[in-house]
Amino acid sequence: MSSARFRAGRFGQGGFSGALVRWLLAYGAFGVPQAAGPIAFTLLAMPLTGSAGSGAALVLAITIAQIVGAVPFARLGRGFNAVSYLKALVAVRALAFALLALLAHLDAPFPVLLAAAAAGGIVNGAAFGFLRSVLNYLVEPAGMPRALGLAATLNEFTFVMAPILASVLGAVINPVAGLLLLVALGTAPVLLVPAIPQATAPKSELDAVAHGGSLLRPIVILWLACTMANSAVVAAVEIGSVAIAIGYGLAPAEGAIFAVALCIASVSGGIWVSSRNRVPDLRMVPVLLLLMGMGAVLAAANLSVLATIAGAVVIGCFLAPLSTFYSLRLDALAPPERKAEIFALSRTANSLGVILASATLTFVSLSAIQAMSAALILVAAGAVKIASLNYDKGIARQPGASHDTDR
């Protein structure tokens, strides 16, 4: 991606540009298939297999394929216009999921459905990487925290509403038509993301990237690990919500109260970031991680329904500030032509956190997933504290330095 900027309608500390509004709507719509997936794919596959676990298998196939394909497809797109390549990836995902719906309608064998699901997932991570990287052309650095806070808020709204929409469409129409409509919503970036002719890397910059070595320096790995820890602690509540409810003697459907509490708190965190247009200082990040870890411990303690809800709220409150911080740090650590790749890695780290939580719940127990997620976030707090101390020492050696960089 060229370091040249798309100047028309850039968003800084002032009002919104039309291009930014379109990007935000595209960002919210992009996550619809993933957010609706657990319900939409279960409703689609159950009539064929007779097992609710078949929907989870489709989601797992998508997630694993996303991890496998994220970086290779991001690298493949280096020589193309970023917006055009993004739209091509979204179109491939839509075609794969539409094929999945058609195959289910034709009662195709379940392994064939798994292959179609994986074909949609394999481009998803790279598509997210390019979608996030395009934001750099639309927003001035001064306005980036506000834009990312709004994006986090829309993302949480998507993850609250998409499962409800999937349930309604599956019941009112049918699972096949419901999935097709959800996939159509997920293709919104094709129409919404504005064309940016400057978002194409010159050959000289591509040659420099080709010899630039790996992105996975220790500081990059730290922020990716923190992203994974955040994802795991959130997934422990969202995936384990039904099991938590049953453990308290509630009806399985009442497990939604824990996930909804977390989502509402996360929305409030996104609004807080957007209103202030600031992210936490590096020295505050270990504190926020520690507080999130305490929320995870409270949720894992099984003291009472209210205590678990309070723990979920604490986790959600710090999710958007921390996620915005990680995104901006990773952005600063990648050269201009590798932004999409580093954001694809971020998406991969997020998926690994979900898989880790899912696998722990599947093969061990609810208490294990809760303890594991709390431990991960507390370890992350310690690692970031060490990094901040090392940064302070570096500043002490350079009295004239005033910029907070990750070098």
For domain 18-190, the CATH class is mainly alpha
11 bridge partner residues: 139
- The identity of residue 101, as a single letter, is A
Helices 256-276, 305-333: axis angle to 10 degrees equals 40
CA distances from 246 to 254, 255, 257, 258, 288 (A): 9, 8, 12, 12, 30
pLDDT in tens, 74-128: 999 988 999 999 999 999 999 999 999 999 999 999 999 999 999 999 999 999 9
Residues in the chain predicted with pLDDT less than 70, given as ranges, are 1-16, 52, 201-213, 391-407
CA 152, chain centre distance (Å): 9
pLDDT at 209: 54
DSSP letter assigned to residue 253: G
Residue 397: the pLDDT is 52
| Predicted pLDDT of residue 115 | 96
18-190 and 202-399+403-407, same CATH topology: yes
Instruction: Please choose, from the candidates 104, 298, 93, the residue with its C-alpha nearest in 3D space to the C-alpha of residue 182.
Output: 93
Residue with tokens 């709390």: 374
Q: How many CB atoms lie within 10 A of CB 328?
A: 16
Percent with pLDDT over 70 in the chain:
88
pLDDT of residue 5: 45
How far apart are alpha carbons 367 and 388 in whole angstroms? Answer: 32
Q: CATH number for the 202-399+403-407 domain, one of 2.40.50.100, 3.30.470.10, 3.50.50.60, 1.20.1250.20?
A: 1.20.1250.20
What ranges do the domains of the chain cover?
A: 18-190, 202-399+403-407
d(CA 17, CA 312): 34
Spatial separation of the C-alpha atoms in residues 269 and 377, rounded to whole Å: 18
352 CB neighbour count, 10 Å cutoff: 18
